[in-house]
Amino acid sequence: MTEPLLTVDGLGAWYGESHILHGMDFTVGKGEIVTLLGRNGAGKTTTMRSIMGLVKKRNGSVRFGSIETIGLSANQIARAGIAFCPEERGIFSSLTVKENLLLPPIVAEGGMSVERVYELFPILQTRGASQGTKLSGGEQQMLAIARILRTGARLLLLDEPTEGLAPVIVEQIGQIIAKLREEGFTILLVEQNFRFAEAVGDRHYVVEHGRVIDSFERDEVEANRETITGYLGI
């Protein structure tokens, strides 16, 4: 692993009285693509929302570089350079593609220009004047990723970016993620689609009942395929 950019240590989280995360431990190195795998309800989304400061009651430690973020607000965490692309994508359907791209504030230095976004996602330029509602699922997902690139964040939390998309679009999302890695972004990815996860991920953590129960490097996946598919129930 490269130098750690994100270090999650004993992260606990609660929704009201429900204790959801029971001490999550994992790290994401600078420039890596790391996945969180696990069955529905394992706590993957809650982990991302906790890192982003969107879950009120949490404890443990989440360090971003040298910054301890556990006491910070979601706004402060975003300003530090972490961005979250939720499963539901958060596109403003009444706005056009371009308006959606112009919306997010640039929170850190180095936010991507709209021109650069169009180079990475030519389809968004073609569809620039279309309303959010008129986009296909794949176009919406690209717009959702493009929007977080505009913020200048260096750590991207992507929650199930391939959900509900046709295989050819899933492949395009994979190519975009690979390009983002080449540009030096660090990505934490939650995925149900294990084929996709193994194609793009450098390392994988398996989450069960709010804990990391196992982990695999890219080159360990093949030899452990049965164990992993067993964990995921596939």
Nearest to 40 by CA among 192, 234, 212, 154: 192
43-62 residues in contact with ligand ATP (CB under 6 A) are 43-46
Nearest approach in angstroms of CB 209 to ligand ATP is 9
104-163 residues in contact with ligand ATP (CB under 6 A) are none
Among the residue ranges 34-42, 103-111, 126-134, 147-155, the one whose residues contact ligand ATP (CB under 6 A): 34-42
Q: Does 233 bind ligand ATP (CB under 6 A)?
A: no
Among the residue ranges 38-46, 57-65, 105-113, 171-179, the one whose residues contact ligand ATP (CB under 6 A): 38-46
Which position among 41, 105, 122, 164 is part of the footprint of ligand ATP (CB under 6 A)?
Answer: 41
Q: Which residues are within 8 A (CB) of 121 and not within 5 positions of it... i.e. 6 or more apart?
A: 142, 143, 145, 146, 176
Question: Using a CB cutoff of 8 Å and minimum separation of 24, what contacts does 12-20 make?
Answer: 12/58, 12/59, 12/60, 13/43, 13/46, 13/47, 13/49, 13/50, 13/55, 13/57, 13/58, 13/210, 14/55, 14/57, 14/58, 15/46, 15/55, 15/57, 19/210, 20/46, 20/210
Q: Does 20 bind ligand ATP (CB under 6 A)?
A: yes
Nearest approach in angstroms of CB 188 to ligand ATP is 13
Q: Does 66 bind ligand ATP (CB under 6 A)?
A: no
Nearest approach in angstroms of CB 14 to ligand ATP is 9
Nearest approach in angstroms of CB 15 to ligand ATP is 3
Residue ranges in contact with ligand ATP by CB under 6 A: 15, 18, 20, 38, 40-46
